[in-house]
Structure 1
Amino acid sequence: MIEAEEMRFEVRERVATITFDRPDRMNAWTPVMERELRRLVAIAAADKAVRAIVLTGAGRGFCAGADVGRLTASASGGVAPVAAPRLSDDDLDQRYSYLLAVPKPVIAAINGAAAGVGLCLALYCDLRYMAAGAKLTTSFARRGLVAEHGSAWMLSHLVGPMNAADLLLSGRVVEAEEAGRLGLVRVLATEGFHEAVQQRAAEFANLCSPRSMGVIKRQLGLVPRQTLADATQLADREVALCRGTDDFREGVAHFVEKRAPRFTGH
């Protein structure tokens, strides 16, 4: 049993689910949650029995942004301004971008409202499933803030510059169906939402080679900084390496033998 103060952690069908657990506050973000998320993701990433990770919220919300108490204190001068900490220049070692470096699929299950930092967290996931009728907003411009945590870069790459400008400059509320049309999320029915996400995550975890998924995730992450030639040459090198692996042999064998795969990640 892995203990956490403001989150829950469980593993089922090779899927680790990390649940933001402040339902009375719509899972508003706190420093405790930030520390616990990094710790729990690291545990799931290191566990060979886990092959996919789901982030979701307890109750009606996913994460409604920073805890309003901290925002109020900051706006009234109760919290002294601090300089941004000096971080690594590594793209995958920023405040939340470490999620992109996890060599397993990380899936946001947006069960309810996602705003501010809550939306930023979802942007760094590999896939985003959203319950029909749920709402999201960047909110920054309507709070006197700016596009935080690399969200301008992420949104521009995920939905294009004009859509990113619309969402960030307006700070307007967007329903799941519009977010789906933008390609930001995949919309699932509200009823049975968590089980539907679990089923999709379990398909990744049990039907796909963990080695292949790790390499593919790295390929996708490199795309914004690559030429087509770079991407093709990397793929050629990785294909050559695949052919000597247990997972490649198993991938062929289970297909020919018409049985469930038994991938090991090797």
Structure 2
Amino acid sequence: MTIAPSEFTCTLYAVADHIATITLNRPERRNALNPRAYAEIEWAFKAASADPDVRCVVVTGADPAFCSGEDVKEMMTGEGGGQQARVAQAPVRYQPTPAAMAALECEKPVIAAVNGSAVGWGMELALYADIRIASEKAKFAELFIKRGLICDVGGLLRLPAIVGPAKAAELLFTGDVIEADEALRIGLVTEVCAHEALMDRAMILARRIAANSPLALRYMKQGLAKTSYGDPREVGGWAIEIIYRLFQTEDHREGVRSFLEKREPVFVGR
């Protein structure tokens, strides 16, 4: 899908003072992701990476959420396909989610300004950032286990490096929701601030970063990626293959049904 910012319907993209701001903009769906939103996120990160005027990127969501993950209703009804349809139609050579790779391979420092719930792929998106700051209203959860699925590259590679393997395992295995203060305590975010101050705080930090040498920033980010994280393409390809298998299971169907029916899932292991 080839699109330009003027055609965006799910995302806002703007550049000012060497800072690119990417805002997920489906507030009526709590910024849940459909295929269009995934495509726009991919384009925005690639554009920011390629733009010599951009030195830092801030990603956030239109209130009241940062990103509530996959749009489950669209996924189940088939409207636009959703991640499930995209994976189900994937070629034999499984590849990482394009939007994830665009975020991970962005050459500019990325700050996630988490203004509300960041769950499922929304938490993945926050994890793709180099730095996360949160409003007091932020919540985080890797909910994939509740849907009979596994997470993407963020949870598998970056979360253990950020909070440690044991805490990452707890969050991934339980699907527990944690509040902003707990996210700060475990090092998932570097700052928690008043909700109305979040974007000001993010922009202050972004301007401090953008004031530095663009070349040095790029290589500093590359160096951190080499020393802190594994190969996202290898792990991402494996994850998509496993997600494809799990999409075919009764447990996944039960996970989605239980979400839509607002009840706890009852899994059977098949």
Which range, TM-score by smaller chain?
Answer: 0.7 to 0.9
2:8 is the counterpart of 1:2: no
Map Cα deviations across residues 227-251 of structure 1 (whole Å, 9 max, x no partner): xxxxxxxxxxxxxxxxxxxxxxxxx
Which of residues 217, 220, 223 is equivalent to 1:219?
Answer: 223
Q: How does 1:19-30 map to 2 (within 5 A)?
A: 19-30=23-34
Give me the TM-score of the superposition, normalised by structure 1: 0.75
Q: How does 1:83-122 map to 2 (within 5 A)?
A: 84-85=90-91, 86-87=93-94, 96-122=100-126
User: CA, structure 1 residues 225+17, in 2 after alignment: closer, same or farther (shift >3 Å)?
Assistant: closer
- Distance in 2 separating the partners of 1:10 and 1:29: 20
- Distance in 2 separating the partners of 1:18 and 1:131: 17
2:167 is matched by which residue type in structure 1? N
Residues matched between the structures, number:
219
Match of 2:38 in 1: 34
How much does 1:188 deviate? 2.3
User: CA, structure 1 residues 73+2, in 2 after alignment: closer, same or farther (shift >3 Å)?
Assistant: closer
How much does 1:22 deviate? 0.2
How much does 1:100 deviate? 2.6
Match of 1:82 in 2: 88
How much does 1:73 deviate? 3.6
DSSP 3-state at the match of 2:219: helix
- Distance in 2 separating the partners of 1:223 and 1:118: 25
- Distance in 2 separating the partners of 1:51 and 1:140: 33
Match of 2:254 in 1: none
Is the CA contact (8 Å cut-off) linking 1:100 and 1:221 kept in structure 2?
A: no
Give me the TM-score of the superposition, normalised by structure 2: 0.74
Map Cα deviations across residues 124-164 of structure 1 (whole Å, 9 max, x no partner): 11111111231111111112222234522221111111101
Is the CA contact (8 Å cut-off) linking 2:116 and 2:139 kept in structure 1?
A: yes
How much does 1:95 deviate? 5.2
1:69 is matched by which residue type in structure 2? K
User: CA, structure 1 residues 87+145, in 2 after alignment: closer, same or farther (shift >3 Å)?
Assistant: closer
Which of residues 146, 153, 164 is equivalent to 2:150?
Answer: 146
Coordinate RMSD, CA, aligned: 2.4
What percentage of aligned pairs have identical amino acids? Answer: 38
How much does 1:23 deviate? 0.5
Match of 2:64 in 1: 60
- Distance in 1 separating the partners of 2:171 and 2:18: 35
- Distance in 1 separating the partners of 2:158 and 2:166: 13
Match of 2:202 in 1: 197
Bigger shift: 106-115 or 40-49?
Answer: 40-49
User: CA, structure 1 residues 129+8, in 2 after alignment: closer, same or farther (shift >3 Å)?
Assistant: same
- Distance in 2 separating the partners of 1:225 and 1:176: 24
- Distance in 2 separating the partners of 1:162 and 1:216: 28
Q: Where does structure 1 lack aligned partners over 5 or more consecutive residues?
A: 227-266
Q: Which has the higher contact order (CA 8 A, sep 6+)?
A: 2
Is the CA contact (8 Å cut-off) linking 1:109 and 1:130 kept in structure 2?
A: yes
User: CA, structure 1 residues 96+22, in 2 after alignment: closer, same or farther (shift >3 Å)?
Assistant: same
Map Cα deviations across residues 189-245 of structure 1 (whole Å, 9 max, x no partner): 212211111111111112x1111110100000001479xxxxxxxxxxxxxxxxxxx
- Distance in 1 separating the partners of 2:111 and 2:228: 20
How much does 1:39 deviate? 1.0
DSSP 3-state at the match of 1:128: strand
Q: Where does structure 2 lack aligned partners over 5 or more consecutive residues?
A: 231-270
Match of 1:132 in 2: 136
Which of structure 1's runs of 4+ aligned residues deviate more than 3 A?
71-74, 78-81
